[in-house]
Chains A and B, each alone.
Chain A
Amino acid sequence: MDENLKELIINNSDSIVDNWMNEVGRIKAGNYTASISDELYENTNREFVNVIFTSIQNQGSSKVVEEFSEKIINLGWPLSYITDGLQIFRRVTIDFLLAQADQVDSNHFSNVLTSVDEWIEPLIRQLVNEYSGSWENILSLQRVALQELSAPLIPVMERITVMPLIGTIDTDRAKLIMENLLEGTIKHNSEVVLIDITGVPVVDTMVAHHIIQAAEAVRLIGSTCILVGIRPEIAQTIVNIGIDLSKFPTRSTLEKGFTKALEITEREVVDLHVKNQGIEDIMHSLKGE
């Protein structure tokens, strides 16, 4: 009986496809696909319905479905396009099969429903899985990308290292900051580490606590930590809330912090032009003798 139904719809695929195309065309406006050109929409629809038929014919050929879902995902079409399309296909096919029968008793009716469900269910399952799989994939990639950005340590000069922090600091990130800071300080053999918090939107007790701990840990391994990039409003908030940052040096900007770091490592920036001028002066005075 099942095979008979299958044969029936495959032999009459043209009329089912026509009905389906009409129905799908009607929902275009409400389906978040309104901006897609009519031509592309119709071509994709035709491909979609072919995929459905191929899948029914071969008892679920996953290869074709996979290719099609990949294409739709790449086009960025919503998942509702797929689910709506399959629901419509279910409705159209059931209507068609019931209209074909001479007499409709409950037995035949339930038989039609079960068969159509059996054809459509695996398709829905596979397509939804492909979709959610691609989202999960994107999410995990972004998580990795974010983690790579979260606590970079930059050796700017011999014995001086900078860690610029941008964005919200949560518990995971705080851990990463601590680890990278200590590892990097030892690896680059730095005497001074500058932590720049210009890009941290809010410094609450938790963020301050983690920064204090990190600075203390840096002190334990024999280096100095300078907190830079403290904006005026952040400074006021820190004072209001009563956080004690007096234990380690702070500066308002990275530039000032860097000057301080040079001072600690007993170096200074010299203007080459002025220096050359000085030498020329000495040469002149020597010649003059």
Chain B
Amino acid sequence: MNPRSCVNIHKEWDIVGARQLGREMAKEIGFGTVDQARIATAVSELARNIYLYAENGQVCFEYIYTNSQKGILMIAVDTGPGIKDISSVMQDGYTTSGGLGAGLPGVKRLMDDFDIESTVGEGTKIKAIKWIR
């Protein structure tokens, strides 16, 4: 099994910690500067969502390898209120906090694979993968 590194998100500054870990791991495995910036931004969005809406959660990273390619997997888990209507939060411009509403759809565009599951009252789990081209 690949080792997994995690950052707990409780305070606003934990977002910076998660971002730095994500960027470092992306750099380590060989992503270019543009993809590093993409990954760091995606981490920033996911971690900020945890901080804003769930208050408590974790962002984890691990390397993944297939026969033909390698990449980085990030998993953002929280035990917050959950998302009632996932299709609406994946729309551009949808926001409940007065922000731009580009967070989750933005992450989906920044990353290659994106998967979200959420149960109201239990929490949300988001998995996203970026492959090295």
Main secondary structure of the interface of B (DSSP, over half): helix
Tell me the count of chain A residues lying within 8 A, CB to CB, of chain B: 21
- Contact partner of A232 (CB less than 8 A), chosen from B12, B34, B106, B110, is B34
A28 CB–B CB distance under 8 Å:
no
Given the known interface contacts A170-B13, A171-B12, A240-B110, the answer about A204 and B45 at a Cβ–Cβ threshold of 8 Å is yes
Is A237 touching B110 in the complex (CB atoms < 8 A)?
A: yes
Q: How many residues of B contact A (CB 8 A)?
A: 25
Cβ-based interface call for A242 (8 A): yes
Chain A interface, DSSP helix/strand/loop, else mixed: helix
Q: B37 to A242, Cβ gap below 8 A? A: no
Q: Cβ of B41 and Cβ of A202 under 8 Å apart?
A: yes
Q: What's the count of A-B pairs with C-beta under 8 Å?
A: 65
Nearest-neighbour CB distance to chain A for B106, whole angstroms, equals 3
Q: Are A205 and B36 in contact (CB under 8 A)?
A: no
Assess whether B105 is interfacial by the CB under 8 Å rule. yes
A237, B107: Cα distance in complex, Å: 10
Closest A residue to B19 by beta carbon equals A202
Closest CB in chain A relative to B131 CB, distance in Å: 15
* Alpha-carbon distance between A241 and B102 when the two chains are bound, in angstroms: 7
A289 beta carbon closer than 8 Å to chain B: no
Chain A residues with Cβ below 8 Å from B103 are 204-205
Chain A residue at minimum C-beta to C-beta distance from B20:
A201
Contact A242/B12 with A201-B40, A205-B100, A208-B100 known, Cβ cut-off 8 Å = no
Whether A233 contacts B33 in the complex (CB less than 8 A), given A170-B12, A240-B110, A242-B105, comes out as yes
> Measuring CB to CB, which residues of chain B are less than 8 angstroms from any residue of chain A?
12-13, 16, 19, 33-34, 36-38, 40-41, 44-45, 48, 92, 99-103, 105-107, 109-110
New A-B pairs, 13, CB < 8 Å, besides A232-B34, A233-B34, A234-B37: A170-B13, A202-B19, A202-B41, A203-B41, A205-B100, A205-B106, A206-B48, A236-B37, A237-B34, A237-B38, A240-B38, A241-B102, A242-B105
